[in-house]
Amino acid sequence: MKHWNRYNPIGAEEKAAVNRVLDSGVLSKYIGAWHEDFNGGVEVNAFEHELAEYFGVPHAVVFNSLTSGLIAAMGAMGVQPGDEILVTPWSMSATATAILIWGGIPVFVDIEPDFYGIDPNRIVEKITRKTKGIIVADIFGHGARLDELRALADQHHLFLIEDVAQAPGIQLDGKFLGTWGDVGGFSLNYHKHIHTGEGGFCICHRDDIAMKMRLIRNHAESAVSGSPIDDLTNMVGFNFRLGEMEAAIGREQLKKLPMLLQQNQKKASRIIETLAGESWLVTTPVGKPGEHAYYVLPFRLTDDRITNSQLAEKLRERGVPGIVCGYVNIHRLPMYQQKIAFGPFPWAHSEPDHYHYDIGQFPIAETLHTKTFIGLLISMFDLNEDECTWIANQMIAAYQELSAEVQHE
C-alpha cells in the first residue's frame, strides 16, 4: 500500500519563533485580574494585532482552542438559560456544545446540499420568542449562504456567530469568512490549514463583545472590577489562555496562510478537473476561484444505486487516503438523543418535551450522512499533481467496479 506524507506547515520560521520565546523565559504572561498583563504577553498581543489587521477588523482574541473561543463568544453574546440558538447539525460537536455550556438550547435547522450550511429558508419557521441567535459553520472550507443568513439575523434581531474552523483566510463576495458574523471563530488545532498544535481565535467588530470574550478567557469574576464591563451576565471566567510559544508559532503560520491555501486549492482543482466528465457525483458550486479552502474536498453522489459507505470501502481497498464518509449529525449524538447534558439541564429548565432531536428530522443532513456524502481530506496530505490525478482515477475506477456489481445483482 502506498505511503502518504502528512501535510506539515511547520518549518524553520516556527522553530526560530519558539526559540525566541524560550530565550525570553516568558512562556505565558497573563494575570487573571484587571492588571496591565490581563491580556497576556508580547507574542499574544502581537498575534492578536496581526490577526485583526489581516482580517480588517478591530479585534482578534486568541484562545487555547476554538471550542474555548466559541464558548466565550456565546457567553459574550449574553446567552442565558432557556435561550434558543439556531444551529447547524452538520458540524463538529463544539459548535453546539458552546450553547449548552451557558444553559442555552440548541435548536437544529437542516442544511442545504450545495454548501452544506444551515438553510436560510428553514430559519424563520424555527424562530420563537426565545430565539436569541444563530450559529453557522462554514464547513469544509466554503461559506454558508451568509448574505441571506446575515439579513435574516438583522431582520429578527438575532446575533450571528460563524464557526470558521475549517476556512481560514477565505473570502465570499470579497468579504472574509468570519466577518459576516458578529463573531467569527477559527481553530488552530493540529489538523487545520495553519496550526499551533492546539489553539483558536475569534474576530469581532464590537469593543464590548471583544472585552467580554477576553474576560471569559481569563477568570472574569476576578478581573471584571476595574474593567469597562458593568453588565455581569456570563462574567464567569475560565482559563482559555493561549501561551506565548503557540502565539509566536501562530504569527509565522499567519504569514504563510495565503500560500498554504493556494497549495491546497491546487490539489482540489486537479482532482475536480480529472473528475469533470463524471456525472455520478457533484462537488460544491464555487463561484470564484479561491472561495473554497478545501479542508475537505466534498462530493455528493447522484447515482442512487450506490451508497457512500460502499464507495468508501472500495476507495480504502485501493489505498486512497483521507476518505470522509458521511459527516457529523450533531443531533444524533447520545446527549441529544437522551437530552442529558448537565443532568437533565438545560432542557429541564424550559419545556423538555418541546425540544425534539429525533432521527429523521433533518432529511438533507441525514441523507448526506447515511447515503450520499463522500469527501477527501486533502488538506492533511502532501499531494503532488500526479498523486491528485491518481486519487481521482481511483474514484472513477471504484465507481465503475461498484456500478458493474450493482448491475449484476
Ligand X SMILES: Cc1ncc(COP(=O)(O)O)c(C=O)c1O
Site map (CB under 6 A) of ligand X, residues 126-155, x = contact: -----------x------------------
C-alpha cell at 49: 494585532
Instruction: Please choose, out of 59-67, 150-158, 344-352, 396-404, the segment that lies near ligand X by the rule CB under 6 A.
Output: 59-67
Contact at 8 Å (CB) between 150 and 177? no
* Positions 193 through 252 that interact with ligand X (CB under 6 A): 200
Residue from 44, 51, 60, 66 touching ligand X (CB under 6 A): that is 66
- Interior CA angle at 216 toward 212 and 217, to 5°? 115
The least distance separating ligand X from the CB of residue 89, rounded to whole angstroms, comes to: 12
Residue from 88, 95, 196, 307 touching ligand X (CB under 6 A): that is 95
The least distance separating ligand X from the CB of residue 81, rounded to whole angstroms, comes to: 23
Backbone angles phi, psi at 141, to 5 degrees: 125, 0
Instruction: Please choose, out of 8-16, 65-73, 222-230, 258-266, the segment that lies near ligand X by the rule CB under 6 A.
Output: 65-73
Q: Which is nearer to ligand X, 146 or 275 (CB)?
A: 146
CA pair distance 218, 34, nearest whole angstrom = 10
DSSP state for residue 369 in the 8-state scheme: I
Evaluated on CA atoms 89, 94, 98, 104, the torsion sign reads positive
C-alpha cell at 107: 435548536
Q: Which is nearer to ligand X, 328 or 395 (CB)?
A: 328
Q: Residue 327 in 3-state DSSP?
A: coil
Q: What are 39-43's contacts with CB under 8 Å, separation 24+? A: 39/214, 40/241, 40/242, 40/244, 40/247, 41/244, 41/247, 42/244, 43/17, 43/244, 43/245, 43/247, 43/248, 43/251
Residue 65 interacts with ligand X (CB under 6 A)? yes
Q: Which is nearer to ligand X, 65 or 265 (CB)?
A: 65
Q: Which is nearer to ligand X, 194 or 271 (CB)?
A: 194
Q: Which is nearer to ligand X, 199 or 280 (CB)?
A: 199
Residue 104 interacts with ligand X (CB under 6 A)? no
Q: Which is nearer to ligand X, 187 or 372 (CB)?
A: 187
The least distance separating ligand X from the CB of residue 387, rounded to whole angstroms, comes to: 24
- The string of DSSP letters for 28-44 reads ----SSSSTTTT--HHH
Residue 281 interacts with ligand X (CB under 6 A)? no
Residue from 189, 350, 367, 389 touching ligand X (CB under 6 A): that is 189
CA pair distance 237, 215, nearest whole angstrom = 7
Instruction: Please choose, out of 87-95, 125-133, 171-179, 374-382, the segment that lies near ligand X by the rule CB under 6 A.
Output: 87-95
Residue from 136, 165, 272, 296 touching ligand X (CB under 6 A): that is 165
Contact at 8 Å (CB) between 171 and 260? no
Sheet of 297-301: strand order equals 281-283, 297-301, 373-376, 323-325
> Which residues contact ligand X (rule: CB under 6 A)?
65-67, 91-92, 94-95, 137, 163, 165-166, 187, 189, 200
